[in-house]
Amino acid sequence: MPGGSPSPTPNGLPGHRTGFDRDRYIDLQSRHIEERRQEIGGKLYLEMGGKLFDDHHASRVMPGFTPDNKIAMLERIKDELEILVCLNAKDLERQKVRADLGIPYEEDVLRLIDVFRERGFLVQHVVLTQLEDSNQVAQSFSERLERLGLTVARHRVIPGYPQDTRRIVSEEGFGLNDYSETTRDVVVVTAPGPGSGKLATCLSQVYHDHARGIASGYAKFETFPIWNLTLDHPVNLAYEAATADLDDINLIDPFHLDAYGEQVTSYNRDVEVFPLLKALLEQLTGSSPYASPTDMGVNLAGSCIVDDEVCREASRQEIVRRYYKALVDERSNDREADISERVAMVMSRAGCRTEDRAVVAPALAIEEATDAPGSAIELADGTIVTGKTSGLLGCSAAMLLNALKHLAGIEDGVHLLSPAAIEPIQTLKTEHLGSRNPRLHTDEVLIALSVSAASDPNARRALDELRNLTGCDVHTTTILGTVDEDIFRNLGMLVTSEPRFQRKALYRKR
């Protein structure tokens, strides 16, 4: 079993090495945004690239960056800002789901608004972008938002966007969009996911402000790619792997190179829309404060990396995870291997392989030895714990129990759940609930363990160790069902799977 015992750090997960200084980031970033607003000299529309809340990708590739970093940073200037949420109407029609949480975009909009309001932020406006009259799903959601007391602005599809700047910056372009009458000096524009129309929303608002005599400007907060890290730095490559389905690619900012003779990292979408942004600002104010896409950014994440090698290794691991995720998605949805092939190319550039994921080989070894699905978890101290399939437990449930026993210092021979406790659950599943699989899922094991904890001190000790599974890597030799997948996600575990199902079937109730 791999060894190594990294020390706990104040800004990361217990037992995991930290490469990013959270406190420095929050301090530097909040001050820098206020400085940019002062430079603008009026209302600032701040496009928030990526996820404003629950930024799990950033926390995985830069250990020490917590999922709420951005919102904690904005809390420093909370009384001066409000949040505007965008949603692409076409994503509603496509029933797009936020992959890391497993919920549809429309529900995530409501969840985000609740989270922001609970933390004391003003959130009143929602913008539906790329709305067409034929999109009845979006129309219905718009009416639902209004019934909930929110103000909804409807932005239309603009022919020729983003190339036809003359039309876009006119009454036939942005002029057709509804205007959101915001009240604060800083307006943070965010969305459930990429491609939601945040930039177009910001620019439309600037257009309408200037038509009303209101001074306003634009800046962008985009965590990735990190402009002052090299193009092939693993942190930036991990972002490319994460957005392989969007055809995003990192590149040298050509405008910045031309203006300053300096090579910095940007990505294709920012470079493509920069001429529109520059043209808009020049048409409205006579000049643009930005000579490049990098200029318009306010991101200081690269200045808060305190251990580059930790972030490099974490990013390489994330790239491998993204590769497995692409393989599983393609297998589950019977798709061609387009995305996994793109991620494989990123893996090659990053110099990493599937074998670098420490939990893969032990899981496969269990499967080979037992001729049944196997799983493995790497704990924070580097210990590998495995689980095998039995008549009572699936391999994921077995691995979970074994990991909790190890963390609690309980002997291998001790049964946390006796067969007598498991068998009634199996009977309920197979004889009354119509399940063909008698083995317990992870949720059923945790419920049984919780019940046992009332009278069994070992079960109670094991249950207390659940928090120490956060951030641990897991691999299974078959594609997980939705129940196990949700449990692992909720526990904060980083799971990959081999791209195959346990049994052959055309219809799968997961």
Residue 6 confidence (pLDDT): 34
- How many Å apart are CA 488 and CA 471, to the nearest integer? 10
Contact 384, 378 (CB under 8 A): yes
Residue 8 confidence (pLDDT): 36
Q: What is the pTM of this model?
A: 0.86
Residue 86 confidence (pLDDT): 95
- How many Å apart are CA 426 and CA 439, to the nearest integer? 7
Contact 205, 32 (CB under 8 A): no
Which residue shows structure tokens 């890290």?
229
Contact 174, 160 (CB under 8 A): no
Structure tokens at 402: 């074994």
What domains can be seen in the chain, in order of their start residue? Answer: 22-215 (3.10.630.10), 357-497 (3.40.140.40)
Burial class (CB in 10 A: 0-12, 13-18, 19+), 31: middle
Residue 13 confidence (pLDDT): 54
CA pseudo-torsion sign 129, 131, 248, 22: positive
Candidates 212, 214, 241, 240; CA nearest to 225 is 240
Which residue shows structure tokens 């000096």?
185
Contact 239, 249 (CB under 8 A): no
Residue 503 confidence (pLDDT): 61
CA distances (Å), 411 to each of 91, 458, 491, in order?
51, 10, 24
Residue 171 confidence (pLDDT): 94
Other beta carbons within 10 Å of 97: 16
User: Coil, helix or strand for 315?
Assistant: helix
Contact 367, 355 (CB under 8 A): no
Digit-by-digit pLDDT tens for the chain (510 residues) are: 333 333 334 345 555 689 999 999 999 999 999 899 888 888 999 999 877 777 889 999 999 999 888 888 899 899 999 999 999 999 999 888 887 677 899 999 999 999 999 999 999 999 999 999 899 999 999 999 999 999 999 999 999 887 888 899 899 999 999 999 999 999 999 998 888 999 999 999 999 999 999 999 999 998 999 999 999 999 999 999 999 988 889 999 999 999 999 999 999 988 988 988 898 888 877 888 999 999 999 999 999 999 999 999 999 999 999 999 999 999 999 999 999 999 999 999 999 999 999 999 999 999 999 999 999 999 999 999 999 998 888 999 999 999 999 999 999 888 888 777 777 777 777 777 667 677 788 988 898 898 888 888 999 999 999 999 999 999 999 999 888 999 999 999 999 999 998 765 444 444
User: Coil, helix or strand for 477?
Assistant: coil
Alpha carbon 260 to its chain centroid, in Å, reads: 33
- How many Å apart are CA 208 and CA 216, to the nearest integer? 10
The DSSP code sequence of 362-431 is: HHHHHHHHHTS-EEEEE-TTS-EEEEE--SSB-HHHHHHHHHHHHHHT--TT--SS-HHHHHHHHHIIII
Question: CA-CA-CA-CA torsion for 303, 308, 313, 317, nearest 10 degrees?
Answer: 0
Helix, strand, coil content of the chain in percent (nearest 5): 50, 15, 40
- How many Å apart are CA 323 and CA 172, to the nearest integer? 43
